[in-house]
């Protein structure tokens, strides 16, 4: 079949809309009609070349859609099923999967590394040239083919644009609080970076009853959204010193948990500095490949801080994605408010520009 997709042909260039040939799903694969795809900063990392992936390729890893067709051997899905993509397809029976950590499963490493499916070929082509998969999802396309392990079923009553957000930003952000850090009521939280992911760290902290929840961002609108989602205090780092303000608000100690949700060495250091003795610094943002952050082991020892990182919110995806959707249904988790802008596929580069300009929480491509 033919489908339009946003293609990264060259790094540091806008995505191009190409009309592609999409192959039928092979053994164990599923053809999905994409309904909605969020514009996440990780896609921008590929565009800017901060993360590498074989090109040309179709990015997009936060999405939801409807199963169009299944390949031989697929048992868990049928045409018509609503599904959300998981950008870490997991086998379901290895050590990590059995221990509730599917995002650490090695199953989909070959697809991520080569941009090709397990048989070494791609399902996307243009004029005889292969177009690669990104993270085994590639949902900036009208139709995509993924391994069945890269999908989770959705309940029929959740709108697919809202469900798409749970495929990355919501689970990453809320999960960082609930599953990676395990923040409890009354604990103090700092969130540095209140974009699509950071706002979900803020709402996760509010959900568990943390306080104060201190949000820092260089864009005033982001701080306004952070307040709406439950931040009790906000800091614009251009006007105030983040570490000083956090100390003032926490009895001079620093935060129990400081989340870095940008992916920069300087803000990771800032999060560490703002963490109290015995507290935890949580790295959520993806740093460009090769980034290093100096570590003073003596300071770490004397302060007994913990530095941890979280991938995909450390979520047990098949258990936790339905849980998060249930919280949305109950009105405890906000998804509607996160979508600032809906775009057509042709407008996708505007979504990245808006992200860089700081004018959106999330933009979402609707097909
Ligand atoms: N201090 C505070 N906030 C900052 C700073 C800074 N020095 N620099 C940038 N920011 C803010 C931006 O204003 C923006 O609101 O960080 C936020 C980043 O948000 P987005 O660009 O929307 O990115 P998002 O999709 O939330 O992803 C954040 O998590 O999953 C990873 O790859 C992703 O590394 C990225 C990070
Ligand atoms: Zn993402
Ligand atoms: Zn596994």
pLDDT one digit per residue (tens) for the chain, 367 residues: 999 999 999 999 999 999 999 999 999 999 999 999 999 999 999 999 999 999 999 999 999 999 999 999 999 999 999 999 999 999 999 999 999 999 999 999 999 999 999 999 999 999 999 999 999 999 999 999 999 999 999 999 999 999 999 999 999 999 999 999 999 999 999 999 999 999 999 999 999 999 999 999 999 999 999 999 999 999 999 999 999 999 999 999 999 999 999 999 999 999 999 999 999 999 999 999 999 999 999 999 999 999 999 999 999 999 999 999 999 999 999 999 999 999 999 999 999 999 999 999 999 999 9
Both tokens assigned to 270? 């800032």
Ligand 3 centroid to Cα of residue 96, in Å, is 6
Q: Whose CA is nearest to atom 2 of ligand 1?
A: 217
* Measured distance CA(80)–CA(297) in Å, rounded: 54
Contact in structure between 167 and 86 (CB atoms under 8 Å): yes
Q: Three-state DSSP class for 320?
A: helix
What pLDDT is stored for residue 334 in this prediction? 97
Ligand 1: which of 262, 284, 358 to mutate, judged by most atoms within 8 Å of the beta carbon? Answer: 262
> Which residue owns the Cα nearest ligand 1 atom 11?
193
> How many of the other CB atoms lie within 10 Å of CB of 308?
13
Interatomic CA distance for residues 135 and 117, integer angstroms: 10
The separation between the first and the last C-alpha atoms of the chain, rounded to the nearest angstrom, is 17
Ligand 1 in contact with 194 (CB < 6 A)?
Answer: yes
| Residues involved in catalysis | 40, 42, 45, 61, 168
Please tell me if the CB atom of residue 54 comes closer than 6 angstroms to any atom of ligand 1: no
How many helices and strands in the chain, by DSSP H and E? 12, 18
Q: Is residue 49 within 8 Å of 2, Cβ to Cβ?
A: no
139 Cα to the center of ligand 1, angstroms? 22
Q: How far apart are CA 56 and CA 261, in angstroms?
A: 28
pLDDT for the residue 234 = 98
- Interface ipTM: 0.98
| Distance separating alpha carbons of residues 262 and 250, to the nearest angstrom | 23
Q: What is the pLDDT of residue 266?
A: 98
Taking the centre of ligand 2 as the mean of its atom positions, its distance from the CA of residue 256, in whole angstroms, is 26
Domains of the chain plus CATH, in order, are 2-167+335-366 (3.90.180.10), 173-311 (3.40.50.720)
Cα 112–Cα 114–Cα 120 angle in degrees, nearest 5: 115
């Amino acid at each position: 079949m033919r489908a339009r997709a946003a293609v990264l042909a060259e790094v540091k260039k806008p995505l191009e809309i190409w009309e592609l040939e999409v192959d039928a799903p092979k053994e164990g694969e599923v053809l999905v009609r994409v309904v909605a795809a969020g514009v996440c900063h990780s896609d921008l990392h590929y565009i800017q070349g901060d993360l590498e992936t074989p090109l040309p390729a179709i990015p997009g890893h936060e999405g939801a859609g409807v199963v169009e067709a299944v390949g031989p051997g697929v048992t868990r899905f049928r045409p018509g099923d609503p599904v959300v993509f998981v950008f870490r397809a997991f086998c379901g029976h290895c050590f990590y999967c059995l221990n509730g950590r599917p995002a650490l499963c090695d199953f989909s490493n070959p697809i991520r590394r080569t941009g090709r499916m397990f048989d070494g070929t791609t399902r996307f082509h243009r004029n005889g040239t292969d177009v690669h998969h990104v993270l085994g999802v590639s949902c900036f396309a009208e139709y995509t083919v993924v391994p069945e392990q890269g999908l989770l079923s959705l309940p029929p009553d959740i709108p697919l644009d809202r469900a798409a957000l749970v495929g990355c930003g919501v689970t990453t952000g809320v999960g960082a609080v609930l599953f990676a850090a395990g923040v409890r009521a009354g604990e103090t939280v700092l969130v540095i970076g209140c974009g699509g992911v950071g706002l979900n760290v803020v709402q996760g902290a509010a959900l568990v009853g943390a306080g104060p929840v201190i949000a820092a961002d260089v864009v005033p609108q982001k701080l306004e959204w952070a307040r709406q989602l439950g931040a009790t205090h906000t800091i614009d780092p251009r006007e105030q010193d983040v570490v000083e303000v956090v100390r003032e608000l926490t009895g001079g100690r620093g935060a129990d948990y400081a989340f870095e949700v940008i992916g920069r060495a300087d803000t990771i250091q800032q999060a560490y500095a703002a963490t109290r003795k015995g507290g935890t610094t949580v790295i959520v943002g993806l740093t460009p490949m090769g980034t290093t952050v100096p570590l003073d082991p003596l300071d770490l020892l004397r302060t007994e801080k913990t530095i941890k990182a979280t991938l995909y919110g450390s979520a047990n995806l098949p258990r936790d994605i339905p849980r998060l959707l249930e919280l949305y249904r109950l009105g405890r988790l906000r998804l509607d408010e996160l979508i600032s802008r809906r775009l057509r596929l042709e407008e996708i580069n505007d979504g990245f520009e808006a992200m860089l300009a700081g004018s959106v929480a999330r933009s979402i491509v609707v097909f």
